[in-house]
Structure 1
């Protein structure tokens, strides 16, 4: 039995968020109001990152409708179907300027109202079909409901999880003592490393490099492999985690210990650090980068980059070179450098020496496309403001011998088009959790100050 066909009306912000969104509705019909095309046209020439998405959306729509007659465009053109059944959806352009202002309709003075009126009109002439307006604008969803539209939804096709509380934290905490949960275990020791093999039933939804902790504050391990029956867990102990050190910095809690374990491990190519403001993401990443570059000589340089508001906005109006222009946005890094060297007799001299010795380079996300970064540590701060496609651009720049550290706080998203569920940071946490060369750690707990801790909990 095939599912009943639904008609989806797309708002402009859906095509800005995902330019190929109209292809994601499978066998259902998609309607794009004329007002949406006009808004895309006005956005495509702006000097903002969304202008590129507007141009991509316009080209994608043009490709889908290129061979259709005006009558076919209004009636609907069949979209490609990737399912086994032969049921295809249709894409249509609706000329909302044909609608007349009548009692009960919203004013035509605003574009949002035109799109809502289009949805209500289609709902009225298709009484036997479900008609859904899809928009990321919360206020528009409320207005549409108030105007009499039965179904209004957010665009969730790109969401990998339904609730941010289900986002992978990078560790699993057992209640009580870990060994009280284990009935059958085999262990083998090689050098100072001990690996335990336990039944997979104990942790059915396991993923690579997931840390395991217990409430007894004794056991700490990391998942390093599995088969159909058993899990391989490397015993790393809490003492070893808490004794980690990088550039004079020691972990203040076990979460920072897990983060430093991943940051200092050269076999891990991607480290994702999430957590609230003040939990130590930037400081730990920078200290570990200096340790690996200067002390251990495993990498040649440190590249520091982040999105510049608003979402990789142009930095051309600031004076100076690229690095000087980036300085205001990278104050968090220079602040952390000062913390690491505040005990030095001449802090300014130390900072200049380290900047040169570690070959620290400040780069803009805008200029990462097309590069190939070799044998470096890349620190990508404020990842929560990047989309999945922007993060893909940066991650695919990393060549041989490069380690990438992505950090961000999902409670501090500045973008108008992103939420905690659709942020690129959430996307890579879920996509990379089964990749053996990556580790995610949620730094649970604020260590900046008691003031910051109170503010994080109560504001």
Structure 2
């Protein structure tokens, strides 16, 4: 078992889902020691050869641990192998990693009624807590029920994996815009304005909005002013004057915004200088429809991109895609019905809507792809629409974003109230992580659409159910 250390350092016992969520998670605990129960290795071994979409994450985690432990003796693996030198910066690990063999469940039969894997992992943590008191032993798991069981069994410290949590509550998530009370210009003491072609740029003191970031929209209650933060330094903010009415008059593929949130989203979607657009908001707020309309406008009308690639998170796609008939695109159609529904809305007034849809799908070169098959690709000069991205982890989103090559625009949309994953919450979702991480990147824009425009029925359901 791990060697006893100072009471200031802790012993973290990791559950399997932590290593599937972040394969290198054992390197994230700084000076503290990390224990991997043998049961966790057994579960990783089972998952790595499965058809589940987390099989790759299991293999990555196993390889990373093997790289550290391959020269260690059996005694050293139990005692703990130092992780020093495996990272850079102030958060580099200096603790030890050890593999803990399973204990007999006899010691805890009075607590557990079965020999399930979760119970065996909790049993290890309970044993370490008793053996290493007063040193803190912490079980880290994303399984809420397992956290409850561990607490009930007498484990003092149980946590979720928080290393990739950038906010403590979803209410603090960036909305992509800031609304001023009253008239915006009444709150500005001095301004310098200049013209660049048809655009007007205002330079203001940073004190007007100390927390401003690039590509954040600014509005006021009077509906006279709408602007976009172009650049930020220590003392000044540069704003592009968009104009409220001008913003509301934007259109794409016959679609005009129904509220100011959609207008701001459409502006960001049609801006060729923005490579990543993140759309969040409730069901029926227009995320998918706006993304598709803007994509068709830029591919077909303006010839700015060569094709549209549509993909989405499908939790059980790895098991079910092989049994659906047809090509990859035909197999993906049930999962991407939201896209075809939006296409129908965009062409419902055409004389022959079905023919129009077929023509546009061919003209815009719309391709339906599974997230699993995005790995290893390099996508050039395309628009990628990633729908339902609230179900992806930060690591999975990174895999997709790093596929985007030169001239590619990525549109991520999702509703944090509709997470289907067993181990993700609105705070731990990769979509939340993405919003906060890319907040200060000049090539990205985030918009939270808060108005339900699908129907009065959908709006009432969203507000009252």
Q: Please give the alpha-carbon distance, in whole angstroms, between the structure 2 residues aligned to 1:357 and 1:426.
A: 34
Equivalent residues of 2:33, 2:95 under 8 A apart: yes
1:146-165 aligned at under 5 Å gives the runs: 146-165=152-171
Aligned to 2:412: 406
Aligned to 1:7: 11
1:40-55 aligned at under 5 Å gives the runs: 40-55=44-59
Q: Please give the alpha-carbon distance, in whole angstroms, between the structure 1 residues aligned to 2:201 and 2:360.
A: 38
Q: Please give the alpha-carbon distance, in whole angstroms, between the structure 2 residues aligned to 1:5 and 1:357.
A: 61
Q: Please give the alpha-carbon distance, in whole angstroms, between the structure 2 residues aligned to 1:200 and 1:276.
A: 32
**Pairing partner for 1:177 from 161, 177, 183:** 183
CA shift, 1:392, in A, is 1.9
Aligned to 2:198: 192
After superposition, the Cα gap between the structure-2 partners of 1:213 and 1:328, relative to the gap in structure 1 and judged at 3 Å, is same
1:365-384 aligned at under 5 Å gives the runs: 365-384=371-390
After superposition, the Cα gap between the structure-2 partners of 1:85 and 1:50, relative to the gap in structure 1 and judged at 3 Å, is closer
Q: Please give the alpha-carbon distance, in whole angstroms, between the structure 1 residues aligned to 2:133 and 2:373.
A: 51
Aligned to 1:270: 276
2:262 aligns to what SS in structure 1? helix
1:49 aligns to what SS in structure 2? coil
Equivalent residues of 1:48, 1:314 under 8 A apart: no
**Pairing partner for 2:315 from 309, 315, 328:** 309
Number of aligned residue pairs: give it.
Answer: 458
Deviations 1:295-332 (A, max 9, x none): 12222222211122326655121111111111111111
1:340 aligns to 2:331 (yes or no): no
Equivalent residues of 1:101, 1:108 under 8 A apart: no
Q: Please give the alpha-carbon distance, in whole angstroms, between the structure 1 residues aligned to 2:375 and 2:420.
A: 22
1:168 aligns to what SS in structure 2? coil
After superposition, the Cα gap between the structure-2 partners of 1:314 and 1:388, relative to the gap in structure 1 and judged at 3 Å, is farther
1:232 aligns to 2:238 (yes or no): yes
Equivalent residues of 2:7, 2:135 under 8 A apart: no
Q: Please give the alpha-carbon distance, in whole angstroms, between the structure 1 residues aligned to 2:91 and 2:398.
A: 32
Structure 1 unaligned blocks of 5 or more: none
Q: Please give the alpha-carbon distance, in whole angstroms, between the structure 1 residues aligned to 2:91 and 2:54.
A: 35
Aligned to 1:116: 122
1:219-298 aligned at under 5 Å gives the runs: 219-298=225-304
Deviations 1:130-167 (A, max 9, x none): 11111111111111111111111111011122211111
1:47 aligns to what SS in structure 2? coil
Higher mean displacement: 243-252 or 371-380: 371-380
Deviations 1:241-286 (A, max 9, x none): 1100111110000000001101111111111111110000111111
Deviations 1:416-453 (A, max 9, x none): 23222222211221121111111111111100001111
- Please provide the CA RMSD for this pair: 1.9
Higher mean displacement: 249-258 or 317-326: 317-326
Structure 2 unaligned blocks of 5 or more: 1-5
Equivalent residues of 2:30, 2:92 under 8 A apart: no
Q: Please give the alpha-carbon distance, in whole angstroms, between the structure 1 residues aligned to 2:309 and 2:46.
A: 36
2:263 aligns to what SS in structure 1? helix
Q: Please give the alpha-carbon distance, in whole angstroms, between the structure 2 residues aligned to 1:308 and 1:121.
A: 39
Higher mean displacement: 388-397 or 193-202: 388-397
Q: Please give the alpha-carbon distance, in whole angstroms, between the structure 2 residues aligned to 1:415 and 1:311.
A: 13
After superposition, the Cα gap between the structure-2 partners of 1:367 and 1:314, relative to the gap in structure 1 and judged at 3 Å, is farther
1:315 aligns to what SS in structure 2? helix
Q: Please give the alpha-carbon distance, in whole angstroms, between the structure 1 residues aligned to 2:322 and 2:57.
A: 21
Aligned to 1:318: 324
Aligned to 1:125: 131
Aligned to 2:3: none
**Pairing partner for 1:31 from 25, 28, 35:** 35
Aligned to 2:64: 60
Equivalent residues of 1:200, 1:230 under 8 A apart: yes
Compute the TM-score of the two structures, normalised by the length of structure 2.
0.94
Q: Please give the alpha-carbon distance, in whole angstroms, between the structure 2 residues aligned to 1:103 and 1:315.
A: 42
CA shift, 1:86, in A, is 11
CA shift, 1:21, in A, is 1.2
Q: Please give the alpha-carbon distance, in whole angstroms, between the structure 2 residues aligned to 1:84 and 1:362.
A: 43
2:322 aligns to what SS in structure 1? coil
Aligned to 2:437: 431
CA shift, 1:102, in A, is 5.2
